[in-house]
Every structure is written in C-alpha cells, then in structure tokens.
Amino acid sequence: MARPGFDLSVYLVTDPLLNGGRPVEDVVDQAVRGGVTMVQLRDPHSPTRELVAIARRLVAALRPHAIPFIVNDRIDVAMICGADGVHIGQNDMDARDARAMMGEDCIIGLSVANEAELKASRDALGAVDYLGVGPVYSTSTKADAGGAIGLEGIAWMRAATDMPLVAIGGIDAARTGDIVRAGAAGVAVVTAIMNAAEPKDAAAEIARAVEAAKQE
C-alpha cells in the first residue's frame, strides 16, 4: 500500500457560505500557511459542475503545500479532480465501496458519532483510515448533525477503537486543548478558520493549541 501519510492535527473543512465572500481557495491557501494539515471540501448543495470546478481550484492551491485534499461524500468529484481521499458520513456510500472505487492509495475518513454508529460501521472499518467524531459541541454549520457528544464522547470513542480520531463540531482554539487531551489526534474546524478575518492567524492559533496539548 502506498497510501499517503496524513496529519489530522488541524483539519480544515470548507463551507461555501462561510468564507465571507472570499474565494474559498484563497482562504484555504492562507489557512495552510498558518498550519492547516489537511483540507476537506464539503458542499452538499452546489451542482456537480461547480463542485468539480471548486475541487480543481483547491487541488491546485494545495499541491504546492503537499497538504492532503479530501472530498466529502462525492467520490466522482474526488476521482476526477485527483483528490487524496474522501470523507464519508453514515448516509454516504459504504466505505468498502468507496475503497473499491478509489483504490488503496487514497485516504478514507468516516463520520462516527457514537456507539451505535460505531457498531453499524464495524464491517466497513477495515476500509477506513480515520474517524471523524462529533459534533463535540452543537454547531450551526451542519443541519443534519446529531446531538453534541462532548469531551466524554471523544474519550469514549478513544477507548473503543484504535483508529485515529479527528473531532468536529463547534471547535475553536480555546476548546482544542481539551479535545486533544480527551484523545483526538486533531480537530476539524469550519467556522473558526473559514470565517476568520485572518485565516492564517486563526489556523496558527489552533495548530499551537494542538501541539501544546500533545506535548503535555
């Protein structure tokens, strides 16, 4: 397997509505310069043609930085733009089907909120590289997210599986330390970076918080 290494520390999830009118690839480029280690395109509403166009712009923006680029749900978009992987939710394609399509060289993440979802995903976990766990806190950026699982939810998942965990949901720099101490390898953030006046500074602050917590 030649699956690329990846670092979940500061995982930026894009949102087309939260970049303050700035081109999403510009915000992402700034954020990467601040310390973002991984980027996911999540945009469940745009037409496919627009998704492909955005994905290609993000691939071009991220290639110089060698930062993994992940597409949410849409394996067709991921494949045609040359993404490094896909992130799938419980209502998206089965991770084994995603692996069959994308091949062994890609990164596959799966959202798992709780014990019930972890059980339901058991047979698919062999096809998965990391778990997205949340929402840790309640969030306005994902209408179909379930109830907040809190730090206890992260700690439970840390005990229940050996897989790398990235936490998501209402996370900002101030909350990052506790989340990493609870067992997450990193934090996935949307608003705290996409909507920041200075995405680079926002990313750097979160990166410092992750690093500090890991060194404790």
- Of these, 7, 18, 94, 139, which contacts its own copies (CB under 8 A)? 94
Q: Is 7 in the site for its own copies (CB under 8 A)?
A: no
Q: Are 203 and 168 in contact (CB under 8 A)?
A: no
Interaction between residue 117 and its own copies (CB under 8 A) = no
84 binds its own copies (CB under 8 A): no
Question: Residue 189 is inside which H or E element, if any?
Answer: strand 186-189
Question: Interface with its own copies includes 114 (CB under 8 A)?
Answer: no
Which of 1, 2, 49, 197 forms a contact with its own copies (CB under 8 A)?
A: 49
Query: Is position 178 an interface residue for its own copies (rule: CB under 8 A)?
Result: no
Determine the size of the site formed for its own copies (CB under 8 A).
21
CA 144, chain centre distance (Å): 16
- Regarding 91 and contact with its own copies (CB under 8 A), the answer is yes
Q: Closest distance between its own copies and the C-beta of residue 33, in Å?
A: 30
Q: CA 21 → CA 33, 46, 91, distances in Å?
A: 20, 16, 30
Residue recorded with tokens 């339901």: 120
Q: Residues 58 to 77: which contact its own copies by CB under 8 A?
A: 73-77
Which of the 8 DSSP states describes residue 6?
-
Residue entry with tokens 């209502």? 91
79 is an interface residue for its own copies by CB under 8 A: yes
Residue 203 CA to its chain's centroid (Å) = 14
CA distance 83 to 145: 25
**165 CB-contact burial (10 Å; exposed 0-12 / middle 13-18 / buried 19+):** buried
Q: Is 119 a catalytic residue?
A: no
Annotation marks residue 214 as catalytic: no
Q: Does 142 bind its own copies (CB under 8 A)?
A: no
Q: Of the listed pieces 17-25, 93-101, 146-154, 188-196, which binds its own copies according to CB under 8 A?
A: 93-101
- The angle formed by the CA atoms of residues 149, 151 and 154, to the nearest 5 degrees, is 75
> Any idea which residue has 């290609």 for tokens?
56
Under the binding rule (CB under 8 A), the answer on residue 123 touching its own copies is no
Candidate list 101, 148, 151, 155; residue touching its own copies; CB under 8 A: 101
DSSP state at residue 4 = P
With CB under 8 A as the contact rule, the residue among 5, 47, 64, 126 that binds its own copies is 47
> Which pair of tokens denotes residue 62?
């991220």
Interface positions with its own copies (CB under 8 A): 47-50, 52, 73-77, 79-80, 88, 90-94, 97, 100-101
Catalogue the active-site residues: 42, 111, 142
